[in-house]
Structure 1
């Protein structure tokens, strides 16, 4: 008799399959035996929010496959709802850790969720959730129009059901009503995160009180927007009503109405808050100094939604206070600024702070010729593993480019390097120097002009490389590319992606030559090759069918 593995070992194995997103194998385990079904289903539904069928998968698949994926998507949600109604063999709801109501909203609003698919979804016991938005009208010919769904009411009803049967639930996302939160929170002792489409769900003061009373692990808030008045004050009231220093993550994904009162309230969580991601209106930026109490940050992302406020030149006192605040964030590991005119000036003194060891830095609005001090300061952050710089390289001159490259080659821990410049001054020499000096690169993205076969041997020696993108005006030859493929390591470079985004039309590869490179790369390392011309070689600059005198 073959000995059976203990249940705890089966759960460990299934958890590992789930961590690898190997849902096909997990599904096969569910069907293989009764002993495997329970651990496999537990792992499947605990990670169902990560399933590739969610939101109908990728648009790159065929229309027929999209229809099939949408069908599977609807079956997944139907099985969870049916489980809450006690109509399934296993209690799927009990395994759920994340209730992604945003994804369920996407399903209900998907154009493919119509007709027979929607009819089947709402059949039987699920018919009670088929809540129409209005009374069906008729077409001019007298036929009844398709009824629109009352998505908000359906989401509320489904959330009400599932939260009654999901004691392990840790996270809720989507369009949630304040009245829904008041009902759900007392039954969710493991709740740690809310990501809300509309922050108005937090307006009722009892929401914070219930979280404080029933959810000892709660530590994360995300808000997409907040419609209404006095949103800053209301959000501040909510934050102040939570247990002090309990929040670890706070993020907004658009204009959520945050302002100085919210910033002051966040300082009440200054010892616990380690991740702060904010998208802000330009008129809110002068209030950034109110965040000075948040000094335990490890991750900071700031986005100026309008990109027009230069704190250094217009609000210099705020600029200096912001720099001083960030200097106090000794645990800062990841820093990102988007559409932030003062970002480079704010970041430069941070780079020179020996007590701060950044691992990831992302900046745009970086002007190579004007920010030589920043370029030189980069060399001080030798802990960097990921660096993304976007900006303007026009009129940079040799000294400015040399300063940047000389700093980059000192960053030996870099795994990801992306340089995206308008009027890119990078040439073969800089690419070769970076490739030969940064042996740990996994993702290498660079621009430039007249980039030739000369760079390929150095790139091929990067044994950790997974993706290389030449977003440059390249002059690569067929022989150069074939030699590059031949020099790749069959094991180390397995599955590598090679992308040529702006090939010089005067040196263009024919379709047959592109296919030859593509086939060679697949044969050697199972890799992927993409090739795009800088412009149509058959069209002149600015030529189009719509041109007129």
Structure 2
């Protein structure tokens, strides 16, 4: 299979090479646009190898969609015949471009700074990551990353701290370079999405002034979101409309509520835990639910865990009628709350149950509903709602 793909790639390369002298530049532009829209990373890479003009055109689009690649990395670099790990190569090129050490300004072409693949370079025990760390943290990179010079901690238990420092420094350099390019009139340099595992509240507030066009923010630890962070984003990132987290401690419910209330009213469209991270340990509390009503007119997508015996608290969201997707999950049964007790409790408060069902009925744009460990008290009635054709309503109850 690998040989077949290689032969196909070579055939495509020969075809492009033979045609490059005859096709008009506008035709090449259309070819590159089509490859970009179809996420054909191999095709874009081959176009980039034709000549300098094509390289600028193809690489700009290649980096613009790098986060959509299967592995969130690109195969664009070789060194003396040895193939670098794809993600290590990508991040080396981004870091070096942020200090002007590359032929092209790669980091100015990205639209989403997604550091998941960067984190994978250092994931796992120190010994097993030695190869990928060594490839990225070379002496050349070390000249530009002060935190990477701490080589004594590369393969020790202190590497977790070092990893956070390196990640923060990488984000600093990329964001600052993009901001500087934008200030000098480069309209292409715009970062719309930021996602990384190692963010602190202080870092977010520092970066906010350089992220004026940011629309989506994903953090690993939801507890870094507080009213101060919200104020920084409210003042500097008016386009922010999506906020997601991977982990959250319920004891920080008031802190999360302060963040939600601190954002400009009715600006948040999507909020909740990253679906791959749905876990009862990351459930939000009643104060966060109340704070979501500050965005009642704008909220379209919600997804989170609720604590024990809290289903009836959904009543506070009754004004959020623009919801299109709702994913709710409940903590697994315990001795104090055996399986089914939540549903019985809800049925014991029929007025609240009816109010929740009434709310869901009024969400006429609701297209996706997923309940986990939650009674399907309203799904049959929702399916009968004339304003919502059942064939366009995706529902799942587990």
TM class, shorter-length = 0.7 to 0.9
Q: Higher helix share goes to which structure?
A: 2
Corresponding position: 1:40 with 2:58:
yes
Name the structure, 1 or 2, with higher relative contact order (CA <8 Å, separation 6+).
Answer: 2
From the superposition, tell whether residues 337 and 257 of structure 1 become closer, same or farther in structure 2 (CA, over 3 Å).
closer
Does the CA contact (< 8 Å) of 2:74 and 2:90 recur in 1?
no
TM-score, normalised to structure 2's length?
0.78
Q: Could you tell me which residue of structure 2 aligns to residue 123 of structure 1?
A: 138
Does the CA contact (< 8 Å) of 2:215 and 2:241 recur in 1?
yes
- Which of 254, 257, 262 is the aligned partner of 1:236? 257
Rounded to whole Å, the distance in 1 between the matches of 2:217 and 2:309 is 27
Q: Could you tell me which residue of structure 2 aligns to residue 313 of structure 1?
A: 344
Structure 2: any 5+ residue segments left out of the alignment?
1-20, 76-81, 179-188, 334-338
From the superposition, tell whether residues 45 and 129 of structure 1 become closer, same or farther in structure 2 (CA, over 3 Å).
farther
Rounded to whole Å, the distance in 1 between the matches of 2:131 and 2:246 is 33
Q: Secondary structure at the match of 1:315?
A: helix
Residue 69 of structure 1 and its aligned partner are, at CA, apart by 8.7
Task: Give me the CA root mean square deviation.
Answer: 2.9
Residue 25 of structure 1 and its aligned partner are, at CA, apart by 0.7
Does the CA contact (< 8 Å) of 1:132 and 1:147 recur in 2?
no
From the superposition, tell whether residues 151 and 222 of structure 1 become closer, same or farther in structure 2 (CA, over 3 Å).
same
Q: Please, which moves more after superposition, 48-57 or 241-250?
A: 48-57
- Which of 282, 295, 320 is the aligned partner of 1:269? 295
Does the CA contact (< 8 Å) of 1:312 and 1:319 recur in 2?
no
Which one has a bigger Cα radius of gyration? 1
Q: Deviations over 1:148-185 (max 9, x none)?
A: 35221111111111111234111111221111111111
Q: Could you tell me which residue of structure 1 aligns to residue 37 of structure 2?
A: 19
Q: Could you tell me which residue of structure 2 aligns to residue 207 of structure 1?
A: 229
- Which of 113, 129, 135 is the aligned partner of 1:99? 113
From the superposition, tell whether residues 10 and 248 of structure 1 become closer, same or farther in structure 2 (CA, over 3 Å).
farther
Q: Secondary structure at the match of 2:121?
A: helix
Corresponding position: 1:185 with 2:208:
yes
Corresponding position: 1:361 with 2:394:
yes
Q: Secondary structure at the match of 1:283?
A: coil
Alignment of 1:457-536 (within 5 A): none
Residue 312 of structure 1 and its aligned partner are, at CA, apart by 3.9
From the superposition, tell whether residues 39 and 99 of structure 1 become closer, same or farther in structure 2 (CA, over 3 Å).
same
- Which of 238, 262, 266 is the aligned partner of 1:245? 266
Does the CA contact (< 8 Å) of 1:178 and 1:207 recur in 2?
yes
Q: Higher strand share goes to which structure?
A: 1
Residue 54 of structure 1 and its aligned partner are, at CA, apart by 3.3
Q: Could you tell me which residue of structure 1 aligns to residue 186 of structure 2?
A: none
Q: Could you tell me which residue of structure 2 aligns to residue 148 of structure 1?
A: 159
Does the CA contact (< 8 Å) of 1:223 and 1:251 recur in 2?
yes
Corresponding position: 1:108 with 2:122:
yes
Corresponding position: 1:337 with 2:371:
yes
TM-score, normalised to structure 1's length?
0.57
Rounded to whole Å, the distance in 2 between the matches of 1:311 and 1:199 is 26
Structure 1 stretches of 4+ moved >6 Å = 144-147
Rounded to whole Å, the distance in 2 between the matches of 1:17 and 1:289 is 47
Q: Deviations over 1:39-98 (max 9, x none)?
A: 2111111111122233899xxxxxxxxxx9971121111111111121111001111111
Q: Could you tell me which residue of structure 2 aligns to residue 160 of structure 1?
A: 172
Q: Could you tell me which residue of structure 1 aligns to residue 286 of structure 2?
A: 260
- Which of 308, 311, 322 is the aligned partner of 1:282? 308
Rounded to whole Å, the distance in 2 between the matches of 1:260 and 1:56 is 43
Residue 110 of structure 1 and its aligned partner are, at CA, apart by 4.9
